[in-house]
Amino acid sequence: RQWDEIDCAAESTRLKDDWERLQTSRQYADIMTSRRSLPVFKRKSEILAGISCNPVTIICGETGCGKSTQIPQYVLEKEIEMGNGGSCNIICTQPRRISALGLAARVAMERNEVVGRVVGYSVRLDSCCSKFTRLLFCTTGILLRRLLSDPELEGVTHVIVDEVHERTLESDLLLLLLREHIQRTRGKIRVILMSATAETSLFSDYFQQGLGLRPELLRVQGFTFPVRELHLDDVLELTGYKVTKNSRFATNKKAKSEVMTTSASNSFDSWESRVGENSETNMEYSEATMRSLDTVDESVINYELIELLLSTVFSLEREVSDIYGPLVAVDDTSNWKPEAGSVLVFLPGMMEISKLQARLQNSKQLSAYGVEKKWVLALHGSLSSEQQKRVFVRPPRGVRKVVLATNVAETSITIDDILYVIDTGRHKEMSYDHSKGLSCLQETWVSKASCKQRAGRAGRVQPGCCLRLYSKKQFKAFDDHQLPEIQRVSLEGLCLKVKSLLQSKVQSTLSKMPTPPDPDAVIAAVQSLKDINAFDAENETLTPLGRHLTQMPVDARVGKMLVFGCMLKCLDPVLTIAASMSGRPVFFSPQDNREEARLAKLRLSGTSKSDHIALVAAYNGWITARRDGWEAEKDYCASNFLSREALASIEASREDYLNVLRELGFVPGDISSLEASSNSVRVIKAVVCAGFYPKIARVRHPEKTYVQTEGGTVPKLAAAHEVQYFTRLDGRVFLHPASVNFSAGHFESPWLVVTDMVKTSKVYARETSMVPAYSLLIFGGSISVRHERQMIVVDGWLEFEAPARIAVLIKELRKRVDALLLE
């Protein structure tokens, strides 16, 4: 709207004059030389002709060709030259905030301007633009939100969607809305899709089906400086870890420490010879390394190795080793020599970043290698724009810069002093676990395409080097590309997002997406969201709970548990339960020791009749045992049949969830809310019930039988195999022997919440908690009261006898819970 506040004609003239002046200025000559050297420059006129003649143009530009920085500028310059500068309005979307910030800064710099005038950006919670802004870099979410309030995109002339190949849900939704916009307005806006991969037929077909015309397709080759890629095998050798004959990696602590303390010998050669002298090995380390080398589905982030690698990189710079030649791929034809380069480390998540950051900040090892002054900067999605921008600043002479980043640094950004990339090959992504019916944030290997992008960050403005913490063999087994988000996340998550972004009917919207999901599955997902009260049962609008859940990048049920855990002040145990749901099993059940393992779990569960409480006890016990040292920790895990790795991964996921809750303001920044957590078994089980209703099983006893005892005739307790369990969802189910309730003879309450159901020959409930009827009445589905029969009915399914005053009380309690959700 700011657009009509300026005098367009005068602004067009001013922009044209400024542009003509800039082109003849001296400082522009250098910039123009580098702009001209980019591959897109040769295709400039073709690209501009394509855009002006077609409502939709697809530009497939390989990485480094200049698509993100140049194409939006070409469009802007052409409009200015044609005298339309004052009235054009170009929006270029980016999947991530950091790219929008970086591109706006670069493009403004190339035009010798400040950000916020002609070139600006707009991202969540931060924007730098004005009524004079003609080219706006923004996140996809920002444009989607604008489309909600301004579906006609008043005044916009061009929309450029960058990185469409990443197939995020938001960019897919944007394509749907842009296609509808073109249909409605007959192409009032020019749409340009930019992709870094050659696979563009999906987009082309999508627009052809909707519009009846094929988009113009242009391909541009990429350009990156040579990047030397070293895999784990080479990396280990480089850092002094040796491959022994039986292919085990062994390291020599003694030799390493000698090198570390002898400043004169911090070169590769002397290190090599020292390592060779001693045959002492450190088995613990070699096993960890083995694991990360030989299996593709399991890996550990090896902080020690990364620290060592950084030291090596810094000390080896400019040195030539016999084995590798210069570390950085030097171009023989130019006399280019590496500067003191900065390092970009790719890690899976925030927690790993904080851990490494703390380690590096106090690193004696780096100091031993002469690195005294350093900037160790974090880069992830939860930082403010101000914090994110710091990674672009060049360090002063003598200061080494290390950027620790998640995959937000993978594409579309150029940090021009990065010479080295260290890639752990890991990232976290939402993925759907069918057996649990949950989607979880899981740490996995990245795709080959991501590896290429990550390595490429070292070769943007000069030759570089990428050190990969995975072997060539592992790399071969990686997927080629990541699946589109729409195929990765649970449909519940998808429906929540669509609803929050577009407020439209979920089913019809999803059916028009570039890859529409199965319509029956969408119906089931909408029902499930109604069941947990995220969608209103009648008109499918978001409830207050639903609105909270749309903000949380976690499964809807897990999200609900976390919200209720905060509300009912038992977050600490609930975090443990939520975190366990995305990981491996904590409890072992070894074939030859099954009974002992079962008893150990039963002991942990106490009298709770709950697998969830057993888990919380196991985790808390582990934290306590760990304080007494490694031996105590090992004994504790062994005697309780617990997996240490699974417990450690719970610890990491707890941190992730806690950060999500902190960001949303559910918990304060310090840990006071965790320390004040209640450990009431009843409350914790009620929270699990709130999250997983209607995954409820009802225990049905067989006809009562009586047995004769010394004291007379008493009812016989039903054995596990005699009782039957029914759920609304799956009919008859069986209790899994791994559940503590498998052997529960006596049932105080016939209700079990089931959080893990597996289907083999039968349907088994594997993780259960027995809950009293009150939990269902207060936290279950919607209730109706049948006064005449003194009954409360939950969702027309569960019937409870209850006198009128209890019904009043329950209604009152429910109102309070609803009020809490609104706060």
Beta strands in 651-743 (DSSP E): 696-700, 706-709, 712-715, 724-727, 731-735
Position 462 contacts ligand ADP (CB under 6 A): no
Q: Which is nearer to ligand ADP, 461 or 791 (CB)?
A: 461
Cα dihedral across residues 495, 501, 507, 511: positive or negative: negative
Position 101 contacts ligand ADP (CB under 6 A): no
Question: Interaction with ligand ADP in 32-51: which residues (CB under 6 A)?
Answer: 38
Position 460 contacts ligand ADP (CB under 6 A): yes
Scanning the structure block, which residue is given the tokens 């609008």?
A: 541
Q: Which is nearer to ligand ADP, 67 or 695 (CB)?
A: 67
- State the nearest-atom distance from the C-beta of 328 to ligand ADP, in Å: 16
- State the nearest-atom distance from the C-beta of 811 to ligand ADP, in Å: 58
- How many C-beta atoms surround the C-beta of residue 291 within 10 A? 14
Of 63, 444, 640, 775, the one binding ligand ADP (CB under 6 A) is 63
Position 75 contacts ligand ADP (CB under 6 A): no
Of 67, 78, 457, 736, the one binding ligand ADP (CB under 6 A) is 67
Position 72 contacts ligand ADP (CB under 6 A): no
Position 73 contacts ligand ADP (CB under 6 A): no
Judge contact between 83 and 16, C-beta under 8 A: yes
Position 100 contacts ligand ADP (CB under 6 A): no
Angle among Cα 397, 423, 170 to the nearest 5 degrees reads 105
Judged by CB under 6 A, the stretch of 68-76, 279-287, 733-741, 773-781 that binds ligand ADP is: 68-76
- State the nearest-atom distance from the C-beta of 464 to ligand ADP, in Å: 11
Judge contact between 203 and 175, C-beta under 8 A: yes
- Given the DSSP bridges, would you call strands 90-94 and 135-139 parallel, antiparallel or unpaired? parallel
Position 331 contacts ligand ADP (CB under 6 A): no
Q: Which is nearer to ligand ADP, 62 or 492 (CB)?
A: 62
Query: What CA–CA distance (Å, rounded) separates 589 from 601?
Result: 10
Judge contact between 30 and 105, C-beta under 8 A: no
Judge contact between 36 and 9, C-beta under 8 A: no
Judge contact between 641 and 601, C-beta under 8 A: yes
Cα dihedral across residues 698, 704, 709, 711: positive or negative: positive
- State the nearest-atom distance from the C-beta of 94 to ligand ADP, in Å: 10
Question: Interaction with ligand ADP in 712-771: which residues (CB under 6 A)?
Answer: none
Position 464 contacts ligand ADP (CB under 6 A): no
DSSP 685-709: HHHHHHHHTT-EEEEEPPSP-EEEE
Angle among Cα 150, 388, 364 to the nearest 5 degrees reads 165
Position 338 contacts ligand ADP (CB under 6 A): no
Position 111 contacts ligand ADP (CB under 6 A): no
Of 64, 72, 95, 240, the one binding ligand ADP (CB under 6 A) is 64
- State the nearest-atom distance from the C-beta of 7 to ligand ADP, in Å: 32
Q: How many residues bind ligand ADP (CB under 6 A)?
A: 15
103, 690, 693, 813 from 802: Cα distances, Å: 64, 21, 20, 15
Q: Which is nearer to ligand ADP, 460 or 766 (CB)?
A: 460
Position 290 contacts ligand ADP (CB under 6 A): no
Judged by CB under 6 A, the stretch of 64-72, 324-332, 431-439, 518-526 that binds ligand ADP is: 64-72
Judge contact between 223 and 64, C-beta under 8 A: yes
Judge contact between 111 and 80, C-beta under 8 A: no
Q: Which is nearer to ligand ADP, 73 or 528 (CB)?
A: 73
Position 197 contacts ligand ADP (CB under 6 A): no
Judged by CB under 6 A, the stretch of 14-22, 65-73, 567-575, 791-799 that binds ligand ADP is: 65-73
Q: Which is nearer to ligand ADP, 69 or 474 (CB)?
A: 69
Q: Quick one: tokens of 109?
A: 């710099």
- State the nearest-atom distance from the C-beta of 411 to ligand ADP, in Å: 7
Of 50, 55, 66, 95, the one binding ligand ADP (CB under 6 A) is 66
Query: What CA–CA distance (Å, rounded) separates 335 from 127?
Result: 42
Query: What CA–CA distance (Å, rounded) separates 701 from 715?
Result: 12
610 dihedral zone (left: phi>0; alpha: psi -120 to 50; beta): beta
Judged by CB under 6 A, the stretch of 63-71, 435-443, 721-729, 784-792 that binds ligand ADP is: 63-71
Judged by CB under 6 A, the stretch of 67-75, 147-155, 366-374, 637-645 that binds ligand ADP is: 67-75
Position 608 contacts ligand ADP (CB under 6 A): no
- State the nearest-atom distance from the C-beta of 78 to ligand ADP, in Å: 17
Position 416 contacts ligand ADP (CB under 6 A): yes
Q: Which is nearer to ligand ADP, 16 or 165 (CB)?
A: 165
Judge contact between 88 and 16, C-beta under 8 A: no
Q: Quick one: tokens of 585?
A: 């099993």
Of 43, 106, 158, 256, the one binding ligand ADP (CB under 6 A) is 106
Q: Which is nearer to ligand ADP, 339 or 416 (CB)?
A: 416
- State the nearest-atom distance from the C-beta of 132 to ligand ADP, in Å: 23
Position 65 contacts ligand ADP (CB under 6 A): yes
Query: What CA–CA distance (Å, rounded) separates 4 from 618?
Result: 64
Q: What does R_g of the chain's alpha carbons equal in angstroms?
A: 30
Of 84, 270, 414, 589, the one binding ligand ADP (CB under 6 A) is 414
Cα dihedral across residues 576, 578, 583, 586: positive or negative: positive
For every residue of 583-597, which 3-state class applies, written as one string? Answer: CCCCECCCHHHHHHH
Position 227 contacts ligand ADP (CB under 6 A): no
Q: Which is nearer to ligand ADP, 425 or 456 (CB)?
A: 456
Amino acid letter, 646: A
The residue ranges that bind ligand ADP (CB under 6 A) are 38, 61, 63-70, 106, 414, 416, 460-461
